[in-house]
């Protein structure tokens, strides 16, 4: 196509309007037209990455294949577009400033006074253009975190202003705002949107497209009014009303010609509207699945914010669709789980997921849940710490090591069935120091894990410091828990399972990060299938 085109997605009026979903939807529509597309996220916080952020505040920490701890929006990008993102797809203010300060310390600026303009903005612009320059994408969509008017976002907006001036027709700004509904008056109010656009204009950016987030449909009159007051073409004002599922948003945007408008404004041929056949088939299958009785799956963990397990919930949802059943996820707080209430808490659950996490809090409840599902043969799937809890519970209640534990929870345990990785022992910093990113795993033929994947060699993403202690491996295998997935380089145990049970698997890696709309993860599909079979019995 020649030069890379840059689309900037900003937000106004309120946060959490769904900039990530709109960015992903635009990316999906352009991808369906044959363009090579990637999406990046700029976060205005000063943390280097979200790896040390509290999941209660920020939701899950996503991990890219190259081992970067990233914002959960990258999960949306990957699930919608079926692409893999890297460290270059998620930039924070902290990383921008660190890069500039490192350059200053090296003397790269030759004694100049370092300022927000031009040094910080130049570094932002360099990172915006990096993906286009390095990988020659047709489109780079850049989502700017936060809300227009926030002091933290100003350097990013100034950088967009400069890029729009420097690159001209190769740039476009999509501004997402909220149109509140006043129930007492029975009206949608556009004034907050007008003020948000005015705020954007005050820093030198005229949005090219407006996406209006609303709970009720907007009339043509309201859309024309917004267009007139905000200096935007009538057809460049589109609405994004609440949908049954986020996966319908690309179709809703396409129905309003958003992709055609973008191509037209960027001087590209519009051509025929793509059919999005596989995407529509997925949605049809999903809607058909929702007419049936849902399959109930418990998610046992300590974080009660839904976004803390975002990728797991999405992977379960996708797996349900491909099993032609809707998955109803029931969160079970592991901090409140005891031997006395576990039967009631897991009553009616066809399968149980043991969620990932860190630290001592809530871990005893996970042991309680695992013991219950193991002794009652309920399909169980443990991820990362969930897998480690499966190993510890088995050591305590089957191998007879009542004081078995992880070094993370008890440094003096005599039976450290989960131990700190050798290369982690000298590390004291928390941020970016775990075993991160994609690693190879070799599966044991004949195992349930092998049956799910259908291949012997796989690659999955990791985020952990502790590992299964191989000194105990023979004792586990003799007692019925098999180590069926091994890293060929380090001999690290990646997957454990109990073959005698219907479906009882723990993975040290995070399979949820690899599940996409059109390619659901095989372990999640197999787990949901096992849960459905269990429900029948």
Residue 12's SS3 state is: coil
pLDDT category, 157, cuts 50, 70, 90? very high
**β partners of residue 178:** 213
From CA 279, how far away is CA 271, in angstroms rounded? 20
From CA 239, how far away is CA 193, in angstroms rounded? 12
From CA 389, how far away is CA 508, in angstroms rounded? 11
Based on the domain organization, do 321 and 209 belong to the same domain? no
Kindly report, residue by residue over 300-313, the tens digit of the pLDDT.
998 776 778 899 99
pLDDT of 429 higher than 80: no
From CA 1, how far away is CA 12, in angstroms rounded? 32
Based on the domain organization, do 53 and 163 belong to the same domain? yes
Distances (CA, A) of 471 to 157, 171, 468, 476: 55, 58, 9, 10
Q: H-type helices in 218-349, by residue range? A: 220-230, 249-255, 258-265, 277-290, 310-322, 342-345
Domain end call among 222, 253, 275: 275
Q: Is 73 annotated as a binding residue?
A: yes
Ordered DSSP codes for 79-98:
HHH-----GGGEEEHHHHHH
Q: Is 304 annotated as a binding residue?
A: no
Based on the domain organization, do 253 and 297 belong to the same domain? no
From CA 143, how far away is CA 270, in angstroms rounded? 24
Q: What is the mean pLDDT of the chain?
A: 92
Domain end call among 213, 246, 275: 275
Q: Is 56 annotated as a binding residue?
A: yes
Instruction: Quote the percentage of the chain above a pLDDT of 70.
Output: 96
The length of the chain in residues reads 537
Based on the domain organization, do 445 and 350 belong to the same domain? yes
Based on the domain organization, do 476 and 505 belong to the same domain? yes
For residue 49, the domain's CATH number is 3.40.50.300
Based on the domain organization, do 244 and 288 belong to the same domain? no
pLDDT of 430 higher than 70: no
Give the model's pLDDT for residue 362.
78
Average pLDDT rounded to a whole number, residues 342-353: 96
Q: Is 194 annotated as a binding residue?
A: yes
Based on the domain organization, do 334 and 441 belong to the same domain? yes
pLDDT of 433 higher than 90: no
Please, which residues have CB within 8 angstroms of residue 166's CB and are 6 or more apart in sequence? none
Based on the domain organization, do 350 and 421 belong to the same domain? yes
Kindly report, residue by residue over 447-488, the tens digit of the pLDDT.
999 999 999 999 999 988 889 999 999 999 999 999 999 999
Confirm if 20 and 89 have CB atoms less than 8 A apart: no
From CA 104, how far away is CA 145, in angstroms rounded? 27
pLDDT category, 15, cuts 50, 70, 90? confident
Confirm if 239 and 223 have CB atoms less than 8 A apart: yes
pLDDT of 119 higher than 60: yes
Quote the tokens at residue 261. Answer: 């408008």
Residue with tokens 């003096």, as numbered in its chain: 412
Domain end call among 225, 245, 275: 275
Based on the domain organization, do 105 and 17 belong to the same domain? yes
Based on the domain organization, do 291 and 249 belong to the same domain? no
Confirm if 441 and 487 have CB atoms less than 8 A apart: yes
Give the model's pLDDT for residue 159.
97
Largest Cα–Cα distance of the chain, in whole Å? 75
Give the residue numbers marked as catalytic: 384, 510, 512
From CA 240, how far away is CA 22, in angstroms rounded? 9
Average pLDDT rounded to a whole number, residues 214-235: 93
Q: Is 481 annotated as a binding residue?
A: no
Helix, strand, coil percentages in the chain from 3-state DSSP, rounded to 5: 45, 20, 35
pLDDT of 423 higher than 60: no
Residue 254's SS3 state is: helix
**φ, ψ dihedrals at 353, nearest 5°:** -105, 135
The 10 Å Cβ neighbour count of residue 296 is 18
Q: Is 262 annotated as a binding residue?
A: no
Distances (CA, A) of 305 to 64, 247, 310: 22, 21, 9
Based on the domain organization, do 409 and 480 belong to the same domain? yes
Angle at 190 between CA 184 and CA 191, to 5 degrees: 95
From CA 375, how far away is CA 305, in angstroms rounded? 29
Based on the domain organization, do 157 and 250 belong to the same domain? yes
Give the model's pLDDT for residue 54.
65
Total domain count, the chain: 2
Kindly report, residue by residue over 176-193, the tens digit of the pLDDT.
999 998 888 888 999 999
For residue 396, the domain's CATH number is 3.40.50.880
Give the domain range for residue 403. Answer: 282-536
Q: Which residues of 426-457 are buried (b: 16+ CB within 10 A; e: fewer)?
A: eeeeeeeebbbbbbebebbeebbbbebbeeee
The 10 Å Cβ neighbour count of residue 108 is 10
Least confident of 247-261, 273-287, 401-415, 505-519: 401-415
């Amino acid at each position: 196509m020649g030069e890379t085109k840059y689309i900037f997605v900003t937000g106004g009026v309120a946060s959490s309007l769904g900039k990530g979903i709109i960015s992903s939807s635009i990316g999906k529509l352009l991808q369906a037209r044959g363009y090579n597309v990637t999406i990046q996220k700029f976060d205005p916080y000063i943390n280097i990455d979200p790896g040390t952020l509290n999941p209660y505040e920020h939701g899950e920490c996503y991990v890219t294949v190259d081992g970067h701890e990233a914002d959960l929006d990258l999960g949306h990008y990957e699930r919608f577009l079926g692409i893999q993102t890297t460290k270059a797809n998620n930039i924070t203010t902290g990383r921008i400033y660190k890069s500039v300060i490192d350059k200053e310390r090296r003397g790269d600026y030759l004694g100049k006074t370092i300022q927000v303009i031009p040094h910080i903005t130049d570094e932002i612009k360099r990172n915006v253009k990096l993906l286009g320059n390095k990988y020659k994408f047709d489109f780079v969509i850049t989502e700017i975190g936060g809300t227009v008017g926030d002091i933290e976002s100003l350097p990013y907006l100034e950088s967009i202003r400069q890029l729009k001036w420097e690159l001209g027709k190769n740039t476009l700004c999509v501004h997402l705002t909220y149109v509140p509904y006043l129930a007492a008056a029975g009206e949608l109010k556009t004034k907050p949107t007008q003020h948000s656009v005015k705020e954007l204009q005050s820093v030198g950016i005229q949005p090219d497209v407006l996406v209006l987030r609303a709970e009720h449909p907007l009339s043509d009159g309201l859309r024309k009014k917004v267009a007139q007051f905000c200096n935007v073409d009538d057809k460049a004002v589109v609405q994004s009303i609440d949908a049954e599922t986020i996966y319908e948003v690309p179709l809703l945007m396409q129905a309003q010609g958003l992709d055609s408008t973008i191509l037209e404004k960027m001087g590209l041929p519009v051509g025929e509207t793509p059919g999005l056949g596989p995407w529509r088939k997925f949605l049809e299958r999903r809607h058909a699945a929702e007419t049936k009785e849902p399959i109930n799956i418990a998610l046992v963990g300590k974080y009660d914010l839904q976004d803390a397990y975002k990728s797991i919930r999405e992977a379960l949802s996708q797996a349900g669709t491909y099993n032609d059943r809707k998955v109803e996820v029931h969160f079970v707080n592991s901090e409140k789980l005891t031997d006395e209430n576990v039967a009631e808490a897991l009553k009616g659950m066809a399968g149980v997921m043991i969620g990932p996490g860190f630290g001592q809090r809530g871990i005893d409840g996970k042991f309680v849940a695992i013991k219950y599902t193991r002794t009652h043969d309920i399909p169980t799937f443990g991820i990362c710490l969930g897998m480690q809890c499966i190993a510890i519970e088995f050591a305590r209640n089957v191998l007879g090591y009542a004081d078995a534990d992880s070094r993370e929870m008890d440094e003096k345990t005599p039976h450290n069935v989960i131990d700190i990785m050798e290369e982690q022992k000298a590390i004291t910093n928390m941020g970016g120091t775990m075993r991160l990113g994609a690693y190879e795993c070799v599966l044991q033929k004949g195992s349930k894990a092998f049956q799910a994947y259908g291949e012997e060699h796989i690659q999955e993403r990791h985020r952990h410091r502790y590992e299964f202690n191989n000194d105990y491996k023979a004792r586990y295998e003799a007692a019925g828990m098999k180590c069926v997935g091994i890293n060929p380089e380090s001999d690290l145990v990646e997957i454990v399972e109990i073959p005698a049970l219907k479906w009882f698997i723990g993975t040290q890696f995070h399979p949820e990060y690899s599940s996409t709309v059109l390619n659901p993860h095989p372990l999640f599909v197999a787990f949901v299938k096992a849960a459905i079979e269990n429900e029948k019995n």
